[in-house]
Amino acid sequence: MTAVIEALRKIPDGARAVVHSDSAYVIDGITRYIQKWRQNGFLKTDKTPVGNQDLWEALDALSGPRVEYRKVPAHAGNRENECANDIAQTFSQKKKIRLRDEAFDVETASLASGRLPPLPRVRYPVYVVFEKGALEFYREWEKCRMAVEGRRGVRYKKCKSAEELAFTLENWGVRSTS
């Protein structure tokens, strides 16, 4: 809940936001229960205090018609949700995390024209993912696995050289302009 509050604090006044979360606690609390809690002085139906009242009040104050809440399934292959979960777990353990690897994050190339722009320079081995006209490249199997898990029709392969990558892409019907 703290992450949602902090994210909403960064949204400029008047801007709209959509919060995607796998937390039924947060989604149901702010969309289904908050109004009754406010009316009942933050007491539940059994007359016990609502936990985290201060956080609920902060989230309520930041919400309203400009914020939409959407529940996403947990651990179902949603790449952004899996990444957010990994970050939250790392922070909860008081560990440092490198949020972006400048040497290699995820490179995406659009294939709207049916032809691929020149391929990004990558270190090998590399995991390549192809779905719906877009290519993504990952340095680590775990990140690739998280990206493809739960997605239908996605192609992926570990390539150990530029030649193997070119061969794979050609077999998938992808042609580079380089």
Q: How does pLDDT run across 12-47, given as a tens digit for each residue? A: 877 888 898 889 999 999 999 999 999 999 999 999
Global model pTM greater than 0.75: no
pLDDT of residue 98: 58
d(CA 2, CA 112): 39
How long is the chain? Answer: 178
Whether 52 is in a domain gets the answer yes
Q: Judging by beta carbons within 10 Å of its beta carbon (0-12, 13-18, 19+), is residue 128 exposed, middle or buried?
A: buried
Please tell me whether residues 111 and 85 are part of one structural domain.
no
For residue 176, what is the enclosing H or E element? strand 175-176
Enclosing domain of residue 50: 2-92
The phi and psi torsions of 124 (rounded to 5 degrees) equal -105, 150
Please tell me whether residues 52 and 114 are part of one structural domain.
no
* Domain end marker among 48, 68, 92: 92
